[in-house]
Each structure stands twice: as C-alpha cells, then as structure tokens.
Structure 1
Amino acid sequence: MTISSAPIASIQEGDVDVVWRRVVQYVVDGFLSAMIAVPFAAVFYALPTGPDGAVRWPVVAVVLAVLWGVLAVAAYLWYWVLRPAATGKTWGMELIGVRIVRADGALLSRTDTLVRGLLLLVDGLFLGLVGLISMLATRDHQRIGDLVAKTLVVRDF
C-alpha cells in the first residue's frame, strides 16, 4: 500500500491538468470543513433570551463565542493542514481523485500544508476566484498557496 504523501519519482505532463477537479474539490471541501464547525454554532440558538431578544447571560455568550472561535480554528487547521500533511489529501481531494505533492518530489510536510492552508484564505477570496485565476494562469495550474509552498496538486490514480 502506498502512502499518498510519499515522494514521487516524476510527474507526468497531464498529471497537473486538474483545474476543474480542483474547483469541484474546493466546493466539496468548503462544505465539509464548514460542517465540522456548524454544530458548535448551534449552541448559540439554545441560549435563553428575554422578551426583547437579548441574551439573558451575556457572559456565557461571550465564553461560548470564544470557545466556538477556538474550535473553528482548530477544525480548520486539522482539515486543511494536519490531515493533508499526513495523507496528501483532504476528504474532497479523496472523493475527486487528486492529491498534494511537493514539486521537487520530497515528502509533503506540515509546513507545506500550513503555508497552503494559510494562503487558502487569499486564494479563497471572491468565492475562490483568486485561486482559480492563479491556477488558470500558471503552467502547473498552481494557486498562490501552491506557488509559495512549492507544491502541486496532481491526479491520484
């Protein structure tokens, strides 16, 4: 059994021609990663409110908001950084049939996926248009996060 993040010998010419797969993967992953944090947000609907609609226990609401923020960031980091560093894929990538590799063939590291994950915030601007333009404009179809991290997204056969 091969581990997806293992080094690769070479990348074939068509392996990086996965722009439209990545668009679908971005939508799938956006939905899946949001679903991780949504249950925590539901707690806010359970807070008791007064007749004017104001929360009766504002301190509890603030504590819950901070807790939700911390959990949301932790879920984001796990989904977009830690899991891909271990497997080379997010769940969306697994469904669509692509994976992340280093352009130089070395093992994918947490630093690589951290850079990609942080720059996903830039690539995701305007509903992902920034990343899409970058992928269409670069020879190896890399978004900004891939360019900086020196990674490629390739077909996973």
Structure 2
Amino acid sequence: MELAEQIDDPTFCTMNVEAPTRVMGTCNSSPGITIASGGLINSITWRPMLTLASDHLPIIISIKKPPNFVSVNNRPFLNFNKANWVGFTEFIETTFNALHFPTDVCDGERRFRKVITAATARFIPPNFPAEAVVLANERDTLRHADPGDPRIRDLNF
C-alpha cells in the first residue's frame, strides 16, 4: 500500500524503462522498482545489467548532479569539553557487558557503533553557537521560500 502511494505521489517518479529486471526462460518481468524525486528525474539514468548469471538483474542507477544542486556538508557540532565522560564510560561498559558475544565481525561492528552513538547522544551535548542559530534560521527561511536560492550555499556551515 505504501509503495503504491509513493508511486502515485506527484513529487516522485518511477525510473523503470521497458527493460526487464528479472529474466527467467521466456518470462521477463520487472519486480525491481526505482522511485526518484521529480526534480532529479532528468539527471538519472536507469538500466538493468544483463551480464550476471542470475535471473534477477542488478539495476545500475547513475545520477548527474544538476547545475543548481546545493550540497550540504553535515558536520556534527559536539562540545567535548562539556561531555559527561564518567557517565559515557559507565554507559558503554554496562551496555557492552550486557550484550551477547557477536556472531561475526560485521555484527560486532554494528553493535559497537550503535552503543557509541547512543552514549554520544546521551552524554555529549551539542555545541551550537548563538550566531549559528541566526544563520540556520535564515538558511531555513530561504530554503522554504526557494530551495534553489544560491544564498543557501553560503549559509550552509
């Protein structure tokens, strides 16, 4: 139901062309569906890759950055000087001790990241200076009025 609603949403478009994404004998179908924002539709190429020995074909999606694309550098603003290091340490040690031994290295790494991220959110406060708040509000107002406004790039800090 949600997929059908996304496809019907006028802000999204399906990228599939008349090429099948599943080839099995004489039966060709396209169970793989790619949905993209309407603003990117002219920047995206979509094609199934026919070279693998599988009936489900991988889909190659290429996106060229539009000329008016505004990129954002997401940088965390954390105040390590105001961190509660005792609470941080106790939290991660208690949490790690309560975990079962991981089944493989990928599982262990995923659990490790999850614990560190939770401890960071709980014990290391954000550091967002007052001047940055003013600039962020100005950026958000511009973005709401015109997402392509070139001044937005200058306000992304």
Give the shorter-chain TM-score range: under 0.3
State the structure with more CA Rg. 2
Q: Specify which structure has the higher proportion of strand.
A: 2
* TM, length-normalised to structure 1: 0.21
Higher relative contact order (CA 8 A, sep 6+): 1
Q: Specify which structure has the higher proportion of helix.
A: 1
